[in-house]
Structure 1
Amino acid sequence: MDILKQHLKTSVRKLKLGRKWVFQMDNDPKHTSKVVAKWLKDKKVKVLEWPSQSPDLNPIDNLWAELKKLVRAWRPTHLTQLHQLCQGEWATIHPIYCGKLVEGYPKCLTQVNQFKGNATKY
């Protein structure tokens, strides 16, 4: 909830989403606590209905995989180094890369539909 409080409005503004945007999350139990649900409702945030922990349907998963690949290449040896590398590598991921993940989303959805919800190459 703290992350949402600090970054949701800023992200919406930076992405120039206007007023007609829908918040997507993967419904992992740690993301759907009663206090978070209440906060989202109180702030009138429209949340996309989403199957819990569904395979291949969240572009952020591809972004996390990219970050892991970048950090793993450095072979961090302690937690402080891991933290620093995650922050540094995160800053190097270009917004165009993020845009391409979103642009490829319709193709991903088509494949998920074709495979009847089972895993795809995405």
Structure 2
Amino acid sequence: KIVDLHKSSSSLGAISKCLKAPQYINKYKHHETTIPSYRSGRRCVLSPRDGRTLVQKVQINRRTTEKELVKMLEETGTKVSISTVNRVLYRHILKGLSARKKPLLQIRHKKARLRLATAHGDKDRTFWRNVLWSDETNIELFGHNDHCYVWRIKGEACNPKNTIPTMKHRGGSIMLWGCFAAGGTGALHKIDGILMMENDVDILKQHLKTSV
């Protein structure tokens, strides 16, 4: 009926007012048929709203697993696979990556680091060539450190939501002190017990000259 009205020179406005279906005329003009077009593949299982729900869930808790997301959708009556959930999140530039481990810093630690960076931000390369960098690390003797994945986008690796806080003094591990300078790596020292300021001074007395 739509095509017959079109062939009888009726305008689109008249056909639209009569049948409220102008899209069929446009399709007939371009393809000379009103049969629905063949779709390559099935329709998306998840609607755009479902995709936004997944993204919101992940942004609230970056450590949400794929299985938890699949279970959440099943509770609403939508059955999907883990790969489908991954594809939806990838389209929103969210990838499941290993969470970086960062020291558990308190506010006073952050302020001290900011003061250090502000005070030395304009130093030249000559100054930094004379600096010895040192730090301590824990190595697990038995088992392994906690490992988890987080959903994050590029540039958010150090966001507190995407990191695992670490502490230096735990059982079942050994603590090592190491350093490096512009010329390369320095000495490695095993620490017995808890590292205090006095111990740090003693370590520097032992290894400073040989490490610079």
State the TM-score, normalized to the length of structure 1. Answer: 0.27
Return the structure number with greater helix share. Answer: 1
**Larger RCO: Structure 1 or Structure 2 (Cα < 8 Å, ≥ 6 residues apart)?**
1
Structure number with greater Rg is 2
